Amino acid sequence: MSTDHTDGFATRAIHAGQSPDPLTGAVVPPIYQVSTYAQDGVGGLRSGYEYSRSANPTRTALETALADLEHGDRGFAFASGLAAEDTLLRAVLRPGDHVVVPDDAYGGTYRLIARVLGGWQVDHTPARLTDAAAVAAAIQPGRTRLVWVETPTNPLLRVSDIAALSKVAHRAGALLVVDNTFATPYLQTPLTLGADVVVHSTTKYVGGHSDVVGGALVTAPDATLPGGRTGPTGTTSLADAVGFLHNAAGAVAGPFDAWLTLRGLRTLAVRMERHQTNALAVAQFLAGHPGVTSVHYPGLPDDPGHAVAARQMRGFGGIVSLRVGSSERARALCAATRLFTLAESLGGVESLIELPAAMTHASVAGSALEVPDDLVRLSVGIEDVDDLLDDLATALAGL
């Protein structure tokens, strides 16, 4: 089913790419758990499907919906967020190229760029992406092909001005990539602010139920490869280059995973409203607690990223980070909560707590991206907020 951008977000999330099944009338796209498709004569493909690595109707529905919600040209669904990132990096970069990365990037992204692409002679420079001048200074003219942005960042929740960074990147002939996992397209649409491609770990808020691993890329209309390069299909189109590698390398989302992710996407709007309402209450409570030394949440008026977030986002998200003064206190807090489950990942309906320095960001220890060892990250779920506040109050009182 097609939608237009005058429809509201929740309407598009439910209907874009999700017409009732023409055979049965099923209102939910079926799970096409199939590997291959009958052809009407050699090369006579029905609706373009021949083999499910190349395309699958359930995956197509998800990709169409994501592209619509991000105001993009084409969507691509992957087996994980890192598979999506890897495909994008290899589609764009060549040996000798350079990437600017956030100085507090997600540990898995940094590991992929520094330790995997580094062996392919791709260099990187960390920069404080809240400072456009620092990003410009980190760019190496003629070598920098990507500026990689997380906003808000993981786990310090710094907020970068996407429109300003797109101008910096484009002046240097580089692409601007925005990891939109924390904000989701419900709260932020980077492609409308000048980004060339959006990346998601759909494991997180898009899936939303901690029951599926996945990733996605959405390319901007008319986005081209940097430096006038021609991709493997003979065009300069970024979407064509990504699409070729999506199929050629094959790290695609399976049909059941795509179906689960699409199911989550349908309720993204209502979930994000509850996530961010709860997160603001949690952040306000923590900001006034004597056992907490600092709180990172762009929804707080005194947060350094508040003004930019208020301008380019439609809300402030469901992640709150806090510092408690020492690694020992942070570990004790992580062990003391009842409703906040100690676990990696984020964005599910349940609340989670973790210690980034020893868990999700252990891979950046000793680097310029090392995170404080007393930093605790909360993924605030959609439980009753009074229960969450009581859980944190009890845990903090026991430190």
CA distance 29 to 49: 16
Coil, strand, or helix at residue 377? Answer: strand
How far CA 72 is from CA of 42, 181, 185, in Å, comes to: 33, 16, 11
| Catalytic (active-site) positions | 53, 106, 179, 204
Q: 391, 360, 363: which is closest to 375 by C-alpha?
A: 360
> What is the spatial distance between Cα 186 and Cα 315, in angstroms, rounded to a whole number?
9
Q: Which residues pair with 352 in a beta bridge?
A: 341, 379
With b for 16 or more beta-carbon neighbours within 10 A and e for fewer, the 181-209 pattern comes to bbbbbbbbbbbebbbbbbbbbbbbbbbbe
Strand order in the sheet with 98-102: 74-78, 215-219, 197-200, 175-179, 144-150, 98-102, 123-127
| Burial (CB count within 10 angstroms: exposed 0-12, middle 13-18, buried 19+), residue 93 | buried
Place of tokens 């990187």: 124
- Cβ distance 276 to 299 under 8 Å? yes
Cα–Cα dist 318/244, whole Å? 35
User: How do 319-323 and 294-296 pair as beta strands?
Assistant: antiparallel
Distance CA 313, CA 184 (A): 10
Closest CA to 152 of 274, 385, 321: 321
345: left (phi over 0), alpha (psi -120 to 50) or beta: left
Cα 336 to Cα 281, 292, 343, distances in angstroms: 20, 15, 13
